[in-house]
Amino acid sequence: MKVFIIGTGLIGGSFALDLKDASENVQIYGIDQNEAHLDEALELGVIQHKATMDDLGEAEVVYLAIPVDAAMKLLPEVLDRISDNCVVVDAGSTKEKICRIVEGHPKRRNFLAAHPIAGTEFSGPSAAIRKLFLNKTNIICEVEKTAFKLQEKAMTIFNAIGMRIRYMDPASHDRHIAYVSHLSHISSFMLGKTVLEKEKNERDIFDLAGSGFASTVRLAKSSPEMWTPIFSQNKENVLETLDEYISNLKHFRELMASNDFTEVYEEMNRTNHIKTVLNGITENENLKTLENGK
């Protein structure tokens, strides 16, 4: 099976590594506008062959793992070039606009809109890691618009690399992901900005920052080239989440300013319920790992 990865960084590269491990009969071709990334991916064994857009007619699977603004521009061209038996899967963090851009394309049936809930704060081919997708949720949107045989081809791959499937309409996806992903990144970026502006001595940051700060600000190391287009495409949902988040911050500040630390305690105590939610997710992932014999 000839699989073409467009975008050989963290997501595309990890997908390639997992797919090669899962199947002996796969050949991975890489396409990337950054020639240095393409050379690095080949040298690291992330891909097996370098390719160009002109080669897409040979593809059986295309995995589009590039920033969402670039994906919207490139996807129609990809669909123009593929054969009728090829399935094109994107991995973008926003779904409503990319689904809309190809809704009238003659080969809309060849496209499967997906979003793997997986990743790290690192980027580039060297960031690619094995088992990144194991037991991770893969959100599929508008599955009914993809030809059934091509759905099956994609699902076989997702199952082979250990992903869990969740179906959702594009608008709901973008609304929910604004809360659980996009807001988290904004919070992390702005916390990092605040500390850098107020703590001018970088040595003080290094000496005094504990694991709590490091884990909270981790996402601020993410690529601005990737996240700026995401915020732009999901602007309305992100603004709504920011309004609610800012309102909660202001309320917390008001409680402290009025010395109402009883209510400060209650606010934090009520929010502790998030431990139950996250522990349930972790236990479910561990159970899936045992079931898979990993």
> Strand, coil or helix: what is 167?
strand
Question: pTM of the entire structure?
Answer: 0.83
Residues of the chain with pLDDT under 50: 282-283, 286-294
What the chain holds in terms of domains, given with CATH numbers, is: 2-168 (3.40.50.720), 172-258 (1.10.3660.10)
| CA 131 to centroid of chain Cα atoms | 15
Token reading at 87:
């399935």
> Strand, coil or helix: what is 244?
helix
> Could you tell me if 285 and 135 are in contact, meaning their C-beta atoms sit under 8 angstroms apart?
yes
- DSSP letter at 34 equals -
- DSSP letter at 138 equals E
Measured at the alpha carbon of residue 58, what is the angle toward residues 131 and 118, in degrees to the nearest 5?
A: 20
Q: Find residue 62's DSSP bridge partners.
A: 4, 88
Instruction: Kindly report, residue by residue over 246-273, the tens digit of the pLDDT.
Output: 999 999 999 999 999 999 999 999 998 8
Neighbour-count burial of 41, counting CB atoms closer than 10 A to its CB (0-12 exposed, 13-18 middle, 19+ buried): buried
Per-position DSSP letters for 90-118, written without gaps between them: E--S--HHHHHHTTT-TTGGGEEEEEE--
Token reading at 219:
């996402």
> Could you tell me if 150 and 87 are in contact, meaning their C-beta atoms sit under 8 angstroms apart?
yes
Q: Which alpha helices (H) appear in the chain, and where do they start and end? A: 10-22, 35-43, 68-81, 96-101, 148-160, 170-177, 183-198, 202-208, 211-217, 224-233, 235-257, 261-271, 273-291
pLDDT for res 208: 58
pLDDT for res 196: 80
pLDDT for res 294: 41
- Please tell me the number of Cα atoms within 13 Å of 48 on its side-chain side: 13
Measured at the alpha carbon of residue 263, what is the angle toward residues 260 and 267, in degrees to the nearest 5?
A: 140
pLDDT for res 289: 41
Alpha carbons 141 and 120: distance in angstroms, whole number: 23
pLDDT for res 291: 42
